[in-house]
Amino acid sequence: FHQHYPLAESYLQPNPKPTPEVWRERGWVDATGRVAPRLFIGHYVGDYDAPSWLYKAVPAFFRDPRRGEVPLGWAFNPNLADRAPQALIYARQHATTNDCFIAGDSGAGYVNPRALTIRHFSDLPSGLKAWVTHCDRYYRQWDLAITGFVLDGAGGASTELEYSAYARFSPDGLGTHFEPGIALHAGVPTCREWDLPGSVEASADRLAAFAKEHPGEPAFFWARSILKAPTWYAEVSASLRQRHPEVSFEVVAPSSFFGLIEHHLKSAGRR
């Protein structure tokens, strides 16, 4: 039924990407071009890789009165346009200045990318090129450039071959599975995703502990949470300030999160 929903050729992001000038104005980058020594938090708002999640979450969470207080990266897999297009469009039509849209698990579908390259069980040729073609169409239609979680799993860790493929349709950032931290792969800024605990207080403590592991330097925490309301994210920030006032932190939009990683690594000579 929903496949007959009339979709436009493209849907733009509701908010522009912040520029380096904006980062400087906000104090995230200093006059010398260095990223400020504080904790930067990016929220991967998941897991929206099935239409059932969208049917339940969008009507509930987009009525949350605290939506818009904290930057959120809504990780809607774009191929859900085939199953729940009305939810994707509703979310964009009602987005606040702090609502951003990224792709979820691996892109326009749920796969282990390395398993597309090495076909252990079938011995078929690599499907990586077909995956790029498939994802590129959806990413163009929904104006996406960030994949929140490259789900390596049992397929094994992605290599430069897979990262180079992702660079063609997801050049602005990748959340990764097995990496220790931040990196640049094929020119794409990446950061390991970390799951936050279910409770507000435990999540605040987890973020504070991570910040304290990186004293005097920028720290980047790509935080994955599942089916949490906007109020929950606002409460995590409030709890972090209250329980750990010594921690300097910023919650930033996904485009700024990965952009700052790229800026930081290139400034340090890591390309």
Whole-angstrom CA distances from 212 to 52, 98, 206, 216, 224 are 38, 27, 10, 9, 20
Nearest to 150 by CA among 186, 200, 99, 119: 186
Per this entry, what is the length of the chain?
Answer: 271
Look at residue 76 in the predicted model and tell me its pLDDT.
Answer: 97
Q: Specify the CATH architecture of the domain 17-267.
A: Alpha-Beta Barrel (3.20)
Look at residue 4 in the predicted model and tell me its pLDDT.
Answer: 86
- Cis peptide bond N-terminal to 99, omega within 30: no
Backbone phi, psi, residue 88, to 5°: -65, -45
- 110 CB burial (10 A radius; 0-12, 13-18, 19+): middle
Is the dihedral angle over the CA atoms 92, 72, 114, 269 positive or is it negative? positive
CA gap 7, 27 in Å, rounded: 40
Helix H or strand E encompassing 129:
helix 128-141
pLDDT tens digit string along 124-153?
999 999 999 999 999 999 999 999 999 998
Q: How confident is the model at residue 187 (pLDDT cuts 50, 70, 90)?
A: very high
- Residues 171-198, mean pLDDT to the nearest whole number: 97
pLDDT tens digit string along 49-89?
999 989 899 999 999 999 999 999 999 999 999 999 999 99
Residue type, 113: P
- Residues 198-202, mean pLDDT to the nearest whole number: 98
DSSP E strands in 159-230: the ranges are 173-176, 182-185, 188-195, 219-226
pLDDT tens digit string along 223-264?
999 999 999 999 999 999 999 999 999 999 999 999 999 999
Whether 78 contacts 142, CB under 8 Å: yes
pLDDT tens digit string along 87-127?
999 999 999 999 999 999 899 999 999 999 999 888 899 99
Helix H or strand E encompassing 209:
helix 200-212
Buried b (16+ CB within 10 A) or exposed e, 238-249: ebbeeebeebeb
